[in-house]
Amino acid sequence: MDVVGGKWKALILWALDERLHRFGELRRSLPGVSEKVLAQQLRELEADGIVRRTVFEETPPRVEYELTDEGVALYAALGALGEWSVRRMRKLDIVPTHGKE
């Protein structure tokens, strides 16, 4: 369970399920996360085989993040929890700031 522990990892999975992201795009899609924390969480998810980091040797350098097959499977397994969260937010009149509905 440590793979998705913490405040940001599930939200990172949610964002990456929609499509691959560059670091800046991912950070903008997660209001409140610091650059340091996001980088740390992405490194941990990469080490756990959940996220793939691709570096393109360009100028300026480009880095993209996407879910691996294991990440897609984990996201699917967390789907029921996500559905529950959306229902709960609606019940509490909380507007989601990102993700699918």
pLDDT one-digit tens code per residue, 78-99: 888 778 888 888 888 887 665 5
Can you give the residue ranges of every domain in the chain? Answer: 7-91
The Cα–Cα gap between 71 and 51 comes to 6
Give the pLDDT of residue 79.
82
Spatial separation of the C-alpha atoms in residues 89 and 16, rounded to whole Å: 21
13-56 pLDDT, tens per residue? 989 988 999 999 999 999 999 999 999 999 999 999 999 999 99
Residue 54, H or E segment: strand 51-56
Rounded Cα distance between 63 and 53, Å, is: 7
State both tokens at 36.
Answer: 């340091």
The pTM for the full model equals: 0.76
Residues 6+ apart with CB under 8 A from 35: 27
Mean pLDDT of the region 49-65: 93
Per-residue pLDDT for 5 more than 50? yes
- CATH code for residues 7-91: 1.10.10.10
- Whole-angstrom CA distances from 86 to 59, 79, 82, 93 are 40, 11, 6, 10
Residue whose tokens read 């950070």:
27
